[in-house]
């Protein structure tokens, strides 16, 4: 799920793009396993495998059964918070928090490629649990609370710890405050390690937003007292203009060659003020240890989009097939439901070779209960398409493709009917505002729906039988961002069906679904600086034909250093969505190579 520049041995961050937050990692021999939080999506806690720390593939979900993951009372950003994965004495342990049903628990397996056990619950509160196995003891570390030194009546967040019996989850000691951190907000995401003569405690501070940091302390005892790292925070991008922001919630791993590495979450932002819509992603950075035994992460606590690869033999996996024909007995691992699914609402066998969804009463605006099968948006520049067979007979029945952040922030491309006539429409829901912004009559029960995305926009199309694309509407990525919608998740592309308040027997049948990465590294495109596009005669001619005023009367000299898509975000009156789409199409046809000497 990432790429390596073989000539320079560089890898691209993030190693897991899209909504893959709160990573935790462990190594067993030459195999690496990584998990992420999943919140209200089912199955829960996606599990990835690698042998070189750079190339990853999903091998399952730790919580694949509803008895492991009840989500009846969850909200979009509830459910499963940060997990941690560890290995001890032939057994893998994944511990996490179901924030809306039960609290902290762990599941186990001896085969990470197979099924995981029923939950084993622990009576320690807080979130972000992590385990350390050392010399026959098992330490459970979580975010918790302690008495405020200046106000005994007040509770303040801290890191808490207990010792547990691993077979049963029984607490052997009462949880006690361990460390309040360095003074940053929201101390959380703890991991305790035994490295050499010290116990190292690494935590996140600052909250999982733009002030996010990672800090470390150490002690000769797992219970402290703690000596804070003299160059804390060991990782942060706060108050920088880096393209990666919100770095934190990290985990350490030692590679088989003795090198050390760190995985953490971060976000890639767009526009001004900066926003992010893909969600919190998983990044990788090297770690070295100084003479005093303290870690140095990346480049002086910074992580780049392109970094030196581990000195491990590259092991790649078969690339995902862009098209899912729904011809298997199970859904692929990339697919998620919103909450726990009902078996009578969806089927792969009702019509073999299609995904059938029933129009139940719940709508997209209701969120939970809607019949929804989605996958993460993992690339800024991508397109998704689906072939839908649907013949609604009652007003209110609808089915289609949604670009989804949550129940109050989504763009919908759908088929519905009114007075017996079928239409294909686009609806935008942004907070309390909702509107159908395009609607056209359909002449056939089968239609291809297409969404094409870049950093700034979603373009929503209907495709004719002869392949002609007809654009219906646009939607800005900004209004599906975390900064607008809130929460902890990222954008999904989802197939859905709804009776909008009425349970129906109508079925929507999706014959196939395509997801394609449209990035063009090394090619002059709309993500390139205006100056680069004006330097080449061919690309300058494209701009001169479509946005001549921008070429002949640029807003300011400094604009040449801004990507064209960034200018479109700042000056939509100069580069409208339709003009940006025309420029993008023309540049893709030219395929002009970006010079290295720029």
Q: Give catalytic residue positions.
A: 22, 188
The distance in angstroms from the start CA to the end CA of the chain is: 29
Phi, psi of 182 (to 5 degrees): -95, 0
Whole-Å CA distances, 20 to 2, 3, 179, 182, 280: 13, 17, 28, 27, 6
Count the residues in the chain.
598
| 444 to 423, 466, 471: CA distances (angstroms) | 10, 13, 18
Closest CA to 563 of 527, 534, 521: 527
**Which residues neighbour 27 within 8 Å (Cβ) at sequence distance 6 or greater?**
33, 87, 253, 254, 255, 256
- Greatest extent of the chain over all pairs of C-alpha atoms, in Å: 77
As a whole number of angstroms, the distance between CA 383 and CA 396 comes to 28
Distances (CA, A) of 574 to 527, 545, 547, 550, 565: 17, 13, 7, 7, 11
How far is residue 166's CA from residue 358's CA, in Å, rounded to a whole number?
Answer: 43
Q: Report the distance separating Cα 265 and Cα 209, nearest Å.
A: 10
For residue 261, what are its two tokens? 């590495």
DSSP codes of every residue in 295-355: EEEBTTTB--SEEEPPSS-----PPPPSEE---SSS--TT-EEESSPPGGGEESTTTTTSE
Helix (H) or strand (E) holding 493: strand 492-498
Q: Is residue 190 helix, strand or coil?
A: strand
Q: What share of the chain is helix, strand, coil (3-state, %, to 5)?
A: 10, 45, 45
Token duo for residue 53: 């720390």
For 550, the enclosing helix (H) or strand (E) is helix 548-552
For residues 460 and 452, what is the distance between their CA atoms, to the nearest angstrom?
7
- For 440, residues 6+ apart whose C-beta sits below 8 A from its C-beta are 423, 424, 425, 462, 472
Tokens of 180: 């309040």
């Amino acid at each position: 799920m990432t790429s390596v520049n073989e000539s320079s041995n560089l890898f691209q961050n993030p190693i897991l793009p899209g909504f893959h937050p709160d990573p935790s990692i462990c190594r067993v021999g030459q195999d690496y396993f990584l998990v992420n939080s999943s919140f209200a999506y089912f199955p829960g806690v996606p599990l990835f495998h690698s042998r070189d720390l750079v190339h990853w593939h999903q091998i399952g979900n730790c919580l694949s059964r509803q008895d492991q993951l009840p989500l009846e009372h969850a909200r979009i950003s509830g459910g499963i918070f940060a997990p941690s994965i560890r290995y001890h004495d032939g057994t893998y342990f994944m511990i996490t928090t179901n924030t809306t049903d039960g609290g902290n628990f762990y599941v186990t397996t001896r085969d990470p490629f197979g099924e995981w056990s029923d939950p084993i619950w622990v009576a320690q509160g807080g979130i972000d649990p992590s385990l350390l196995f050392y010399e026959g003891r098992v330490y459970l570390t979580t975010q918790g609370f302690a008495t405020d030194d200046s106000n005994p009546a007040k509770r303040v967040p801290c890191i808490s710890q207990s010792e547990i019996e691993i077979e049963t989850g029984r607490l052997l000691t009462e949880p006690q405050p361990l460390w309040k951190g360095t003074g940053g907000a929201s101390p959380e995401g703890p991991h305790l390690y035994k490295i050499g003569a010290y116990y190292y405690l690494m935590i996140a501070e600052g909250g999982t937003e733009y002030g996010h940091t990672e800090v470390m302390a150490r002690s000769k005892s797992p219970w402290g007292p703690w000596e804070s790292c003299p160059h804390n925070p060991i990782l942060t991008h706060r108050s920088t203009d880096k393209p990666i922001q919100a770095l934190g919630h990290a985990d350490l791993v030692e590679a088989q060659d003795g090198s050390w590495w760190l995985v953490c979450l971060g976000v890639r932002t767009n526009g001004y003020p900066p926003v992010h819509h893909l969600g919190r992603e998983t990044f990788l950075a090297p770690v070295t240890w100084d003479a005093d035994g303290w870690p140095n992460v990346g480049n002086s606590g910074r992580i780049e989009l392109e970094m030196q690869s581990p000195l491990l033999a590259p092991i790649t996996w078969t690339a995902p097939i862009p098209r899912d024909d729904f011809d298997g007995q199970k859904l692929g691992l990339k697919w998620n439901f919103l909450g726990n699914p009902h078996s009578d609402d969806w089927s792969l066998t009702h019509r073999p070779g299609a995904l059938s969804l029933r129009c139940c009463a719940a709508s997209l605006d209701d969120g939970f209960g809607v019949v929804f099968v989605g996958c993460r948006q993992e690339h800024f520049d991508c397109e998704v398409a689906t072939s839908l067979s649907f013949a609604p007979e009652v007003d209110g029945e609808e089915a289609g493709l949604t670009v989804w952040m949550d129940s109050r922030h989504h763009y919908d491309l759908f088929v519905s009917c009114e007075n017996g006539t079928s239409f294909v429409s686009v609806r935008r829901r942004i907070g309390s505002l909702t509107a159908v912004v395009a609607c056209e009559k359909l002449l056939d029960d089968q239609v291809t729906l297409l969404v094409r995305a870049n950093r700034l926009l979603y373009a929503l199309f209907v495709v004719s039988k002869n392949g002609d694309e007809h654009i219906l509407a646009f939607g800005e990525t900004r209004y599906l961002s975390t900064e607008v919608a809130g929460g902890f998740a990222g954008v999904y592309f989802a197939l859905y069906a709804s009776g909008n308040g009425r349970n129906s027997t109508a079925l929507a049948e999706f014959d196939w679904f395509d997801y394609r990465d449209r990035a063009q590294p090394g090619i002059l495109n709309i993500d390139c600086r205006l100056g680069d596009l004006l330097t080449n005669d061919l690309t300058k001619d494209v701009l001169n034909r479509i946005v001549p005023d921008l070429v002949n009367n640029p807003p300011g000299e400094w604009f040449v250093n801004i990507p064209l898509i960034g200018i479109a975000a700042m000056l939509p009156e100069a580069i409208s969505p339709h003009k940006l789409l025309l420029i993008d199409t023309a540049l893709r046809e030219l395929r002009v190579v970006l010079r290295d000497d720029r």
